[in-house]
Amino acid sequence: MKKRIGIIGAGPSGLAQLRAFDSLEKEGKEIPEIVCFEKQGDWGGLWNYTWRTGVGRYGEPIHGSMYKYLWSNGPKECLEFSDYSFDEHFGKPISSYPPRPVLFDYIQGRVKKSGVRKHIRFNTAARWVSFDEETQQFSVILDDLVNDRTYTEIFDYLIVASGHYSTPNMPYFKGLEDFPGAVMHAHDFRGADQFVDKNVLLVGSSYSAEDIGVQCHKHGANSVTLSYRSTPIGVNWPEGIKEVPLLVNFDGDLAHFSDGSQERFDAVIMCTGYQHKFPFLPDEMRLKTPNCLFPDHLYKGIVFNDLPKLMYLGMQDQYYTFNMFDAQAWVARDIILGNLTVPEKSVRTKDMETWLDRSLANKTHDDEIDFQTDYIRDLISMTDYPEFDLDTVAAHFKQWLKDKDNNILKYRDATFPSVMTGTMAENHHTEWMDEMDDSFERYFSESEETPEESLE
């Protein structure tokens, strides 16, 4: 009997797993039976933009946290697949920071070419998982959302690739209940349009606060204030954006901050991160972790230490993304196929502790980049995932941090060479601050005029 592999989620991580098996099948090797369950109607995970917030068509919590005008927040040369280059996909050089639809197109290109869509059951939500010690198999209860039908399937291995930037961490600040304007989490932010001419307060000091703050500034907010809990982002902010210490409470629309300052706001966006949330997993199989570079209980950041037939992909905080998910998926594949042996628990625990200790010693962002680089290097050394120049990718990341420090409004105009092909990225036809249209069509148009200007 063929082994059965269940994958929960068809975002970049789940798709990496499908591609990992496909790469072997293309070599003529036999692969297990694979079924991937995706609760959305299409693949791509967060990259599959939705205008919806709250619940979807079938009453499921909306997964998507991406928004209009989202451009890559790091150089694309740092996330490039090593078995499918940007050159292969687009046939010509493109800029280093493309908008969401262009990156979504790239993600789709590889899996369309592979033909793995047949393994995915869309509009199907994983509801509950159990493990039978006797048969050593997983039962997964699934909801077919379109036909409103619940059924169960049995698997030998289960891969959880359901993402962890979807369920908001939403703090409370005294007086919020009487704040007269909009209060939302970054998860529900769909674009800066509604904040034109507004004074916006963003709570948080990480990627979401930085990017949503800059988007609001770019698209015409009157003022943007970022409130930090521990450390300010600390870049060279332009006029119109500033950082203040932590929000303490509201009196109506008047915010009080911990340094005694106060200011009135029209809207509040909580950029306070996300929870790792797995409502379909029982306690003994559930990963419980904050957003960090090495979640505890995962051997090699993948294998659930208490139950090695359960594997997680993409659960780390992410400098690296698509190629890290690949490196993980190739390891998971080879474990399933028996090409890699998972050592006994004490060895796994020791290995995890080494990585955990090192992750706790990270002091700077550069340390974190080096850490994740070495983590991926370790994974790649275990499989036949095509090697690539990780030291240069790490250098690109460090340059990206410097560029952001220098000019947060211009870092997306920088270009980097591909480590896969050597191709130097092109300058986009329009500087990022002047480019108000993030569509695929506009991106690939030759014109420097905005669409409105060309209609005149």
Alpha carbons 331 and 325: distance in angstroms, whole number: 10
203 binds, among ligand FAD, ligand NA7, none (CB under 5 to 8 A by kind): ligand NA7
73 lines the binding site for ligand NA7 (CB under 6 A):
yes
Partner that binds at residue 11, options ligand NA7, ligand FAD, none, CB closer than 5 to 8 Å by kind: ligand FAD
The listed partner (ligand NA7, ligand FAD, none) that binds 106, CB under 5 to 8 Å by sort, is none
Q: At what angle do helices 365-380 and 345-361 cross, to 10 degrees?
A: 150
Q: Which residues contact 301 (CB under 8 A, 6 or more apart)?
A: 294, 295, 315, 316, 328, 355, 375, 379
Q: What character string, x for contact with ligand NA7 (CB under 6 A) and - otherwise, covers 13-32? A: --------------------
Query: SS3 of 71, please?
Result: strand
Nearer to ligand NA7, 128 or 207 (CB): 207
What does 56 interact with, of ligand FAD, ligand NA7, none (CB < 5 to 8 A by kind)? Answer: none
C-alpha span between 124 and 142 (Å, rounded): 7
171 binds ligand NA7, rule: CB under 6 A:
yes
Rounded distance, CA 25 to CA 145, Å?
A: 31
Count how many Cα atoms sit within 13 Å of the Cα of residue 268 in the half-sphere of its side chain.
Answer: 26
Interacting span for ligand NA7 (CB under 6 A) from 267-275, 341-349, 355-363, 414-422: 267-275
- Comparing CB distances to ligand FAD, the nearer of 126 and 221 is 126
* DSSP states of 5-59: EEEE--SHHHHHHHHHHHHHHHTT----EEEEE-SSSSSSGGGS--S--SB-TTS
The answer to whether 413 touches 432, Cβ cutoff 8 Å, is yes
* Of 128, 131, 207, 444, the one binding ligand NA7 by CB under 6 A: 207
Beta carbon nearer to ligand FAD, 69 or 179: 69
What are residue 188's phi and psi, to 5 degrees?
-100, 0
CA dist., res. 368 & res. 360, Å (int) = 10
**Shortest distance, position 99 Cβ to ligand FAD, whole Å:** 10
In terms of CB distance, is 321 or 362 closer to ligand FAD?
321
Question: Amino acid identity of 434?
Answer: D
Taking CB under 6 A as the binding criterion, the range among 119-127, 201-209, 373-381, 389-397 that sits at the site for ligand NA7 is 201-209
Binding flag, residue 271, ligand NA7 (CB under 6 A):
yes
The least distance separating ligand FAD from the CB of residue 259, rounded to whole angstroms, comes to: 29
Helix (H, G, I), strand (E, B) or coil at 267: strand
From 130, 139, 169, 439, residue interacting with ligand NA7 (rule: CB under 6 A): 169
* Closest separation in Å from C-beta 287 to ligand FAD: 13
Reduce the DSSP state of residue 250 to 3 states and report it.
strand
Q: What's 425's DSSP letter?
A: P
Indicate the SS3 state at residue 227: strand
Query: Which of 417, 414, 419 is CA-nearest to residue 402?
Result: 414
**Nearer Cβ to ligand FAD, position 250 or 432?**
432
Strand 223-227 relative to strand 199-203, pairing: parallel
Nearest residue (CB) to ligand FAD, 215 versus 223: 215
CA atoms of 13 and 323, how far apart (whole Å): 10
Please identify which residue in 47, 104, 165, 237 interacts with ligand NA7, judged by CB under 6 A: 165
Stretch of residues binding ligand NA7 (CB under 6 A), selected from 110-118, 200-208, 235-243, 296-304: 200-208
| Residue with Cβ nearer ligand FAD (169 or 349) | 169
Q: Which of residues 109 and 175 has its CB atom nearest to ligand FAD in the complex?
A: 109
Applying CB under 6 A, which part among 33-41, 122-130, 266-274, 343-351 lies near ligand NA7?
266-274
Asked if 230 touches ligand NA7 (CB under 6 A), the answer is: yes
Residue of 391, 397, 428 lying closest to 413 (CA atoms): 428
Question: What residue ranges bind ligand FAD (CB under 6 A)?
Answer: 8-14, 37-40, 45-47, 63, 65-66, 72-74, 79, 125-126, 161-163, 165-166, 280, 314, 318, 321
Residues that bind ligand NA7 (CB under 6 A): 73, 165, 169, 171, 186, 203-209, 229-231, 246, 271-273, 291, 318
